[in-house]
Chains A and B, each alone.
Chain A
Amino acid sequence: MRITVIEAGLQTTIQAGARRGMRHLGVPTSGAADALSLALANRLLGNDLLAPALEATLVGPVLGFDASIALALTGGLAKATLNGEPIEFHRTILVSAGDELAIGSVETGTRVYLAFAGGLRASDVLGSVSTYMPARLGGHEGRALVKDDVLHTQRASLVTDSLRTPEAYRPPITSRWAVRACRSAETHLLQEKQRDALVDTHWTIGRRADRMGMQLDGPTLEISSAGRMPSAPVFPGTIQCPEDGSPFILSVDAGTTGGYPRIAQVVRADRHLLGQMRPGDHVRFLPREPPEAIVGLRAMHDYWREWLPGIERVI
């Protein structure tokens, strides 16, 4: 089974689960920026929820096939066609030898996930097959796909079930987001008024937005200690505020330590949402106490478990 890249799209990489337990060596989490959408795509094919799949960014790829295979699309809202005919997201699609699949521009959200029955073959480096481009780890030669690349699935898989994601399990993709966030270790460096501003502002995702992180455009926050501190551990979802007062949120490929104050931390249950935000989107932060956030996480798992058994490994 060969999948040929006819057009690569803007930034299409192989992503799977996170790289875990390596942050003390500077190795970022990596993995799908929107792990929930990855899991939903794999679910439609009977794959492991975190099986390697394609993550397409803003403009999707065009792919050709030399044999029949089942695939599924989830995530950001985009037009997709098979031999020129529109196809639906959130359902199992069977393609045949000679077919051409095209994913166009993502209109809402940022990332489309395209999973294949059996999962894509990819190189396992430092505990995951997920692509971490800055160090060229994992995925397909550690990089984004280019024209004429050829991909393979891990095994021939005979998917016969045609599934659709139930409506209740299709995550809303929007351009106005609300994410829950807890205080972090340097929240106290913001004066109370500034803490209110962090929560009350409808922030705009800035032009600098990628798998490492996203700039937040809005009011300038005043931070004491000149916005500096000894380098400390940071994680996906950490919101930092440097001296210039423009905060940024870290995402899956962000570095593991940073020297700017950590003013908030997006809660575990909502970190996957960061993977669908794009420049110009609005985002608000809803303050939560850590125990409250964990209650929310449990509720989320309880909700998703019926369709995605093993959701705890995903979110």
Chain B
Amino acid sequence: MPSGNNAARTIEYCGDDLLSINVASPAEAQALAEQLRASGAWREVVPGIASVVVQFDAIDVTIDAAMRRIADEIKHGIAAVECPDVLLEIPVVYGGDYGPDLDDVCEQTGLSADELIALHTGQEYRVDLVGFTPGFVYVGGLDDLLHVPRRKQPRQHVEAGSVGIADGRTGLYALSGPGGWPLIGRTTFRLFDPQAEEPFPVRAGMRIKFVSISAAEAGL
């Protein structure tokens, strides 16, 4: 998504070695991150949903110089990135022990469990972001009817493969650990495999479809 409108892109401090650049969309965040990473000038270049944060070595470069370098890089717009045209089917066991917040989400949205599942499986999505923990996937484009907030306090333990929804997105937990998204189901799709040639099978820009299966079918 080439975009010449950089008036909206502000650069701000996030700490003594961190600068954040606000962008218009997850796709723009991915594109800007790729562009910045290509320069090799940064310790970390991390896209978010609506921003990119760079970490720089404050010993090598002053914070002002880092800011100028970013401003120069985005002056001529952000080059689009090639999105891999892949459609992944993600099997999900909805509700019960696998989606402990499903009833809660139904209550908040006024939907029945069946309606919720039909809505969630009824469309194609795009991966906005991989982040949080190795292989955690943020999937964009959730139906308006399914918009619920994050939990007020994160859970200390969420099972690997858990499928959560929050703030208009679906989140796929690659690993067990703490997490704040209301959980509606669980997938057996391997989201991260450090032994594999490609440890991260899901990448930003890929298309996703959720398919409802039973616990028995999933082998859970």
Contact = CB atoms under 8 A, between A and B. Distances in A.
A259 interface: yes
A209 to B, nearest CB: 12
Nearest to A264: B15
B50 interface: yes
Contacts of B44: 20-21, 23-24, 235
Nearest to A18: B43
Interface stretch (A54-62, A69-77, A179-187): A179-187
Interface in B31-66: 33, 37, 43-53, 55, 58-59, 62-64
Contact of B177 (A134, A268, A297): A134
Nearest to B16: A293
Contacts, number: 162
A265 B16 contact: yes
Given A24-B46, A228-B149, A232-B50, A184 B133 contact: no
A137 B133 CA distance: 12
Interface stretch (B88-96, B99-107, B134-142, B205-213): B134-142
B132 A231 contact: yes
Contacts of B194: 125-126, 135-137
A257 B129 contact: yes
Contacts of B199: 126
Contact of A233 (B46, B64, B138, B152): B46
B62 to A, nearest CB: 7
A163 to B, nearest CB: 27
Interface residues of B, number: 54
B13 A290 contact: yes
A237 B18 CA distance: 11
A249 B13 CA distance: 18
Nearest to B63: A290
B50 A255 contact: no
B48 A231 contact: yes
A244 B33 contact: no
A258 interface: yes
A298 B37 CA distance: 26
Contacts of A309: none
A266 B55 CA distance: 14
Contacts of B37: 24
B131 A208 contact: no
Interface string B135-168: 1101000000000011011101000000000110
A28 B133 contact: yes
Contacts of A135: 133-134, 174-175, 192, 194
Contacts of A183: 13
Contact of A24 (B16, B58, B131): B131
A184 B14 contact: yes
Given A230-B48, A256-B46, 11 more contacts: A23-B46, A25-B131, A135-B133, A185-B14, A185-B51, A212-B178, A235-B44, A235-B55, A242-B150, A257-B131, A257-B132
